[in-house]
Amino acid sequence: MDEDFRGFRSAVFEWFAGLERDNSRDYFAATRDLYEAEVRGGLEAMLDELAATFGGEARVFRQQRDLRFSPDKSPYKTRTYGVIHGRPEVVGGLYAELSARGLYAGTGYYRLARDQLERFRAAVADDRTGPALEEAVATVTAAQRRRTPASPGVPPSAPEAGLELAGESLRSAPRGFPRDHPRIGLLRRKALFAGRRLPPGDEGIPREPALDHVAGTWRAAGPLTAWLDEHVGPSTLPPDPRGRRR
């Protein structure tokens, strides 16, 4: 991507709202130029610029949905997302997503393979390492920072709230662990990452607020990703036919 990142106009978020109303090939074909230039193109440009700071390589995923295993035959995703991956000695990718609701940024372990899940649960349950994850979670969920000065169409500067934890969880305790374990909420996790969303203003999300939001979110998640890299690390299992680790 050779274009400089210029932010996301309100038309970008209106495009997503339109796609939610009319998820059809006709809508996508009629608006493809906007998608290529400002939706996908804008996200690629932003990630390329941030990769120069954080390291790694930017990748934006295809908009078309994989319909082979889904009863929902809507042809397009209603969000556009990408990652910065391949950073030395770092497992989790740096994630960013555009949708009608704004610009989301997050990082962590979006999926734990079987061997990773075993290491994760063992480290969470261990009284020598589990409390450190609790501390990391408390730090990232309380993280606040000042936004850049307000731009036209963007609400006045205010502290951004702490990051929100996300990731699939079991409904009950995993096998072999008591339901009353002091860290049972973390033990139920099958994935763990943290992020937050910046909603668009009247004129969208300009360049500097977008960069500040995404980079600041990734940095705020540092204590969580550091714990995961130290105690879980990458999977060594071969991928299954769908490209996931077994």
- Cα distances (Å, whole numbers) of residue 41 to 20, 33, 59, 130, 221: 20, 10, 11, 41, 26
Q: What is the CATH number of the domain that holds 222?
A: 3.30.930
Q: Is residue 177 part of a domain?
A: yes
Q: Is residue 241 part of a domain?
A: no
Supply the pTM of this predicted model.
0.88
**Structural domain count, the chain:** 1
- pLDDT band, very low/low/confident/very high, at 245 (cuts 50, 70, 90): low
Q: Is residue 40 part of a domain?
A: yes
Q: Is residue 237 part of a domain?
A: no
Domain that holds residue 119: 7-231
Mean pLDDT of 11-28: 97
Q: Is residue 118 part of a domain?
A: yes
What is d(CA 217, CA 5) in angstroms, rounded to the nearest whole number?
A: 18
Q: Is residue 1 part of a domain?
A: no
Residue 153 has pLDDT above 80, yes or no: no
Give pLDDT tens digits for 31-41.
Answer: 999 999 999 99
**Closest of 98, 77, 95, 104 to residue 12, by C-alpha:** 98
Q: Which residue type sits at 56?
A: G
Q: pLDDT: is 2 or 75 the higher one?
A: 75
Q: Which residue type sits at 102?
A: G
